[in-house]
Amino acid sequence: MSRAATPLTAVLSGQRAFITGGASGLGLAFCQLLARDGWHLGLLDRDAARLASVASELTTLGAKAVQSYVADVTDEAAFTAAINDFAARAGGLELMINNAGVAVAGDLVDTPAADWRWALEINVVGVAIGCRAALPHLKRAEAACVLNIASAAAFASAASMSTYNASKAAVVALTETLAQELEDTQVHAAVAMPGFFPTRLLDAARAPAGPLASARRLMTSSSYSAPEAAADMLSACAARRLYIVLPKSYVRLWLLKRFWPRGFMALLTRTRRRALARRRSAP
């Protein structure tokens, strides 16, 4: 018997999942792993062309069935209708992954209020809508999980990233609250706080050239990958972990922030000063 692609397959026996931002990056990596174990998948994304291509790929990989939905997570009616349609077609829902998100960078005084509203609507309100729509179906399953994708930016609040940092910190708070509300149910809530790894997150980012270039360098230089992140997150869900911080190098930062916040802030200050010095000395 072949080994399962993820231990979550054995934990959530119904094997029906809905993933936002499923047409690329981390969302697609989730779908590929679950497809190999024969899950019934629902994908929501704004890119209709990529969704069509991905659906064919996932079927080839072994997905039981694939339903694709072209919608924005801020459109409550369309998003909710997509989840309800998928649950009806699949006969239920065990795993909801709120993965869709956007990035904004730049100093606080330079970031327009419109960019704040854009990021918060997608990164926070979109996650809340997904949770609200999925929970009635998840609560009918024998065992279920809702996984919200935040970022290490939620605790490593680097300068020139206030909008993104705040939005991802809100996802952590939202999930902590949800975990308490689900305490007496069979639905497990988890929040992932990954560090940088290559995805298409920055393709639509709103940011000045300097901060955007810095973010791209961090992303492209990472030795961690979206498939690795997806596998680690699903394994953590199987273990019923609430906080999922990865890769391992970021766990040390997470612990430092929790147990010695002043030391952590001093580290951020030193790191920023070194970066500014390198930038000034560059030809």
Residue 3's pLDDT is what?
83
pTM of the model as a whole: 0.92
The separation between the first and the last C-alpha atoms of the chain, rounded to the nearest angstrom, is 59
Give the C-alpha separation, 223 to 34, whole Å. Answer: 23
Q: Are 105 and 215 in contact (CB under 8 A)?
A: yes
Domain hosting 72: range is 8-281
Q: What is the pLDDT of residue 232?
A: 97
Q: Which residues of the chain fall below pLDDT 70? A: 1-2, 198, 202, 207-208, 210, 212, 215-216, 218-219, 275-283
d(CA 268, CA 119): 24
* 2 inside domain: no
So which residues are the catalytic ones?
Answer: 164
pLDDT one-digit tens code per residue, 193-218: 999 886 777 677 786 676 767 766 76
Asked if residue 246 belongs to a domain, the reply is yes
Looking at residue 279, what is its pLDDT? 60
Task: Give me the torsion for CA of 262, 263, 265, 270, rounded to 10°.
Answer: 140
User: What CATH number did the domain enclosing 175 receive?
Assistant: 3.40.50.720
Helices (H), the chain: 8-11, 25-36, 48-61, 76-90, 113-120, 126-138, 162-181, 209-221, 226-238, 248-259, 261-281
In a domain, 143, yes or no: yes
Q: Residue 85: inside a domain, yes or no?
A: yes
In a domain, 135, yes or no: yes
- Phi and psi at residue 102, to the nearest 5°: -135, 165
Give yes or no for a contact between 197 and 224, defined as CB atoms under 8 angstroms apart: yes
Identity at 97, one-letter amino acid code: I
For residue 192, tell me if it sits in a domain.
Answer: yes
Buried b (16+ CB within 10 A) or exposed e, 140-170: ebeebbbbbbbbbbbbbbbbbbbbbbbbbbb
Dump pLDDT digits (tens) for 108-154: 999 999 999 999 999 999 999 999 999 999 999 999 999 999 999 99
Say how many domains are in the chain. 1
The first and second tokens of residue 278, run together, are: 């390198």
Contact indicator for 192, 148 with CB cutoff of 8 Å: yes
pLDDT reported for residue 1: 45
Return the closest-CA partner of residue 29 out of 9, 43, 40. Answer: 43
Residue 113 lies in a domain: yes
Q: Provide the pLDDT for residue 283.
A: 60
Q: Is residue 3 part of a domain?
A: no
Cα 237 to Cα 215: distance, rounded to the nearest angstrom: 28
The confidence score (pLDDT) of residue 278 equals 67
Q: How many residues does the chain have?
A: 283
